[in-house]
Structure 1
Amino acid sequence: MNRPHDPLSGAAARDPRPPRGPSPVAAARSPVRSRTPSTDRESPVSTTDKPTVVLVHGAFADGSSWSAVVERLQRHGHRVLVPALPLRGLASDAAYIRGVLDGVEGPIVLVGHSYGGAVISHAATGAPRVKALVYIAAFVPDIGESTLGLTGKFPGSTLAEATTAQSYPLPGGGQGEELVIRQDVFRQQFADGVPETTAQVMAVGQRPIAVAALQEEATAAAWRDIPSWYLVATEDRNIPPAAERWMASRADAHTVTVRAPHAVSVSDPGPVTDLVLRAVHEVRSGH
């Protein structure tokens, strides 16, 4: 039976460390971006040594959330992979993505949205072909942190009120608990500004995430060793924008800010593509 669920209650108490403000370095890297025409219409770059771009979706979404970004990257001649994330556990999801990475030849730019950010931080650890991490309104946990803990670190998320819990069978027997966003509030919560018909399709096709995955603590943090880029979505109702800025600053990520909802790859694919292409350029130039 579906029932209201509050997965975020008490999350802040599990992470007692006080938030730090953005560093001068990160602040200098953070021009405010609005919904303006994208520079992704520039001439495609040479195909020599182009990295493969791997796009990892998060909770309450699927690979189609990257469709407009994929089209733009392919226009530039990039090979793009969009694996379907199981959304069942942080370590197991990361292992799945690591398997995808191990099958790629050449350099990789690894991109994660939302919960997918926590996954790429795990999956890229010890993966020498991953040359850049790009976080799109995403979690960037340090070792010992969970996505729930990071959500509760700052006020502003309304995800708890928007989700419903439902049970699913575990492989070894018993029942697990997963979350979905209620369809009647999906657009407001996740994709505000996206055309209503598009948001309705997203709502019915959303992928639920296991509560255990949100509670699982990170055991790796690849952003400590791999250059990172971050897009802050200022209208995000899933992850507080203040939390996004704080995580980006802590990771010393090259940061841009876009006035957009959590589903920024759907609402504003241009700025998302631009940031990925910046990372690609840095990888190709050897910086």
Structure 2
Amino acid sequence: MAREFGPMPYVTTDDGSTVHFLDSETDGPALLLGHGFFMDAEMWLPQWEGLADRYRVIAVDARGHGRTEDVGRPFTYWDSAWDGWRVADALGLDRVVVGGLSQGGFTALRMALLQPGRTRGLVLIGTTGAAYTEQEREGFERAVVRSWVGGTVPVEDIAPTMAAVMIGGDRDRHQRPWVEKWRAGDRARLAEAAHCLIDREDITALLAEITAPALLLRGIGDQSFTHEHLRVLADGLGGPAELKTISAVTAAHVCNLTHPELVTPEIRAFLDGLPA
């Protein structure tokens, strides 16, 4: 998964965080994407490579992840949404399609709420507008904040299973590179990002304000979000929304990475069909 990129582009936020992003720098309408928790912008490389002939593909490293450096203070997905719009502003992009997987979807929804006139459409994979239930909060607190961020469980005891469940696909080709990233990384830097995830508010009541067209995708083996989660989200949006299942046996939560041959054509068809 290691590869060389050009000069690393960043934007600086009002609180002094430096937000890193990848930019295909190609011609065409822009698609700005956010990644899932534990991942980073490179999870979108298959879409970068598969769409850049016709679209400009931008992937943002969220706070606590990748090459983005936050200032160690609490933040919310509204802050992450403004980070996304700062990237768009820095690139001189007026209207963009916003998208993301899981927490990237939480951010994309808030981007659309903050700047509806600039949002051409949404691409949402394995995500929701709802908050965690109390049971989900407790489970995440135990599994991530204590075991992962707190370092109470060795990486070797948790990372392979997490990769199998979350990423899916092929163990050597898809999972192993991310397990190696996690082993080499600083687990403690996810602390504020974990609290942001756990404490996010329910925005279901606001979804009707989002009138841009939306494409919703879910890997059939996604254990984080059920088909019902995505159906509720699709039904709650104020614009046309199409929900599709990526039905390959090994398609899990991060299905865009493991099954780009199925996911990327769906995104391309959606983008091709958007009004100018």
Q: TM-score, normalised by structure 2?
A: 0.67
How many Å separate the matches in 1 of 2:114 and 2:167?
A: 34
Alignment of 1:81-92 (within 5 A): 81-86=58-63, 88-92=75-79
Tell me by how many angstroms 1:161 deviates. 7.6
Query: What residue in structure 2 maps to residue 98 of structure 1?
Result: 85
Contact in 1 for aligned 2:164/2:175 (Cα 8 Å): no
Structure 2 gaps of 5+ residues are 1-26, 65-74
1:67 and 2:56 correspond? no
> SS of the counterpart of 1:182?
helix
Distance 1:276 1:197, change over 3 A: closer
1:131 and 2:114 correspond? no
Specify which of 246, 249, 266 is matched with residue 257 of structure 2.
Answer: 266
Distance 1:223 1:202, change over 3 A: farther
Look up the equivalent residue of 1:93 and give its one-letter code: S
> SS of the counterpart of 2:113?
coil
Q: Of the two structures, which has the highest relative contact order with CA contacts closer than 8 Å and spacing of 6 or more?
A: 1
Contact in 1 for aligned 2:246/2:263 (Cα 8 Å): no
Q: Which has the higher helix share?
A: 2
Look up the equivalent residue of 1:196 and give its one-letter code: D
Specify which of 224, 230, 234 is matched with residue 216 of structure 2.
Answer: 230
How many Å separate the matches in 2 of 1:267 and 1:94?
A: 26
Query: What residue in structure 2 maps to residue 214 of structure 1?
Result: 198
How many Å separate the matches in 2 of 1:280 and 1:184?
A: 35
How many Å separate the matches in 2 of 1:110 and 1:192?
A: 24
How many Å separate the matches in 1 of 2:141 and 2:173?
A: 24
Look up the equivalent residue of 2:50 and give its one-letter code: R
Structure 1 gaps of 5+ residues are 1-46, 153-157, 169-179
How many Å separate the matches in 2 of 1:151 and 1:63?
A: 29
Aligned-residue identity in percent: 20
Contact in 1 for aligned 2:174/2:257 (Cα 8 Å): no
Query: How many residues are paired up?
Result: 216
Specify which of 105, 115, 140 is matched with residue 103 of structure 2.
Answer: 115
Contact in 2 for aligned 1:62/1:84 (Cα 8 Å): yes
> SS of the counterpart of 2:133?
helix
> SS of the counterpart of 1:110?
strand
